[in-house]
Amino acid sequence: MENWTNAKLCDVANLILGAFLLFSPLAFGFDAGMASQNAYISGIVIAVLAIAALAAFAVWEEWLNLVVGLWVLVSPWVLGFQGTTAMTIHAIVGAAVAILAAIELWMTSQHPPRLTTNR
């Protein structure tokens, strides 16, 4: 665990946010419609991308996380469930995931990962 970086902490936060979004329909009682389906699918995608980034970092994972986070942020208006608890949760989680992905992309551009190992 000595190799924990800020980028990995962002990935762990995204994993937690993905799990939160995945279980939010059950916890907050969303209607069994588009809001629930979007929360399940988006939560799984965010969590899988976070696990993949923790296992082996790749820049494309962060770009996908940014896109998924932005989708979760705007999905209440696109799918028509604005003005609900589901909208609030989607907006907060989507913004947080997108911001964390943008921070990771910025950190990567400032300090690119090494391609060689230290021996």
Amino acid in the structure at residue 27: A
Q: Look at residue 112 in the predicted model and tell me its pLDDT.
A: 62
Q: Look at residue 110 in the predicted model and tell me its pLDDT.
A: 74
Contact 21, 42 (CB under 8 A): yes
The three state secondary structure string of 31-82 is: CCCHHHHHHHHHHHHHHHHHHHHHHCCCHHHHHHHHHHHHHHHHHHHHHCCC
> 2-6, 50-54, 66-70, 92-96: which has the minimum mean pLDDT?
2-6
pTM as predicted: 0.82
Give me the mean pLDDT over the 43-66 stretch: 87
Contact 46, 73 (CB under 8 A): no
Q: Using one digit for the tens of pLDDT, what is the confidence trace for 58-114?
A: 777 888 999 999 999 999 999 888 788 899 999 999 999 999 989 888 877 776 655
Q: Name residue, tokens 């936060």.
A: 13
Angle at 51 between CA 74 and CA 28, to 5 degrees: 45
Is the per-residue pLDDT at 53 higher than 70? Answer: yes
Between CA 112 and CA 108 the distance in angstroms is 5
Q: Look at residue 111 in the predicted model and tell me its pLDDT.
A: 67
pLDDT band with cut points at 50, 70 and 90 for residue 5: low
Percent of the chain with pLDDT over 70: 86
Closest to 23 (Cα-Cα) out of 47, 40, 42, 38? 40
Between CA 86 and CA 99 the distance in angstroms is 20
Burial tier of 112 (Cβ tally within 10 Å: 0-12, 13-18, 19+): exposed
